[in-house]
Amino acid sequence: MKTIEIDDELYQYIASQTLHIGESASSILRRLLAIRSKDDTNQRSSTNHQKNDSSSLLTLVKSDNFLAEKKLVNRFLTILSTLYLCDKSMFSVAAASLHGSKRRYLAKDEETLLKSGKNTKPKSIPNTPYMVVTNSNTARKIFIIESLMKNMDISAEIINQVKTQFVLK
């Protein structure tokens, strides 16, 4: 194990990317940089091993960094990113089936979302190949999060806790 010095701003960024209590800086950086350790190469990646394990989601929405975030759009993107990392295949299936009567909410390209309307304000969901419409109101954002979680077979109890923490100020 080597020790390196990093500035405070970079440290805060790495710490803000924590998915669960006790996650090491090395694990966070490996995930962010998509680098697998020798152990991970022999096994499934740690996110696949947490399939349908929503503990990282609960840890996120109760974390000081999440609660300190004032912008709901940033909270929204962080929750979506964590859902994707919890179970990529279930997220993909849920994302494909989630849309309104005239609007797609999630897509892998900006063009698809822009076809839904001129003011969709698509943003990339961190650590995913997906983009999401962000100009919707809070109720619609909650609907998107709740629908994804239901379609990912996340328990109603966890869904309610995430929804509550999402809008907590």
Our count of domains for the chain comes to: 1
CA atoms within 13 A on the CB side of 80: 30
Instruction: Tell me what pLDDT residue 21 has.
Output: 61
Asked if residue 153 is part of any domain, the answer here is: yes
pLDDT in tens, 46-70: 434 334 457 788 888 888 888 888 9
Asked if residue 30 is part of any domain, the answer here is: no
Task: Count CB neighbours of 112 within 10 A.
Answer: 14
What is the strand order of the sheet 131-133 is part of?
106-107, 131-133, 122-124
Please check whether residue 93 is in contact with residue 53, taking contact to mean a CB–CB distance below 8 angstroms.
Answer: no
Question: pTM of the full predicted structure?
Answer: 0.67
Full domain range(s) for residue 157: 51-167
Asked if residue 162 is part of any domain, the answer here is: yes
CATH number for position 125: 1.20.1380.10
Position 52: which residue type?
Answer: N
Asked if residue 152 is part of any domain, the answer here is: yes
pLDDT at 2 over 90: no
Confidence category of residue 34, pLDDT binned at 50, 70, 90: confident
Asked if residue 74 is part of any domain, the answer here is: yes
pLDDT at 30 over 50: yes
Instruction: Tell me what pLDDT residue 84 has.
Output: 93
> What mean pLDDT comes out for the span 10-29?
75
Rounded CA-CA distance 163/83 in Å is: 13
Asked if residue 20 is part of any domain, the answer here is: no
pLDDT at 131 over 90: yes
pLDDT at 44 over 60: no
Asked if residue 6 is part of any domain, the answer here is: no
Rounded CA-CA distance 107/18 in Å is: 25
pLDDT at 114 over 90: no
What's the sign of the alpha-carbon dihedral 110, 113, 118, 121? negative
pLDDT in tens, 91-112: 998 888 888 777 888 989 888 8
Which residue is listed with tokens 């822009």? 114
pLDDT at 22 over 70: no
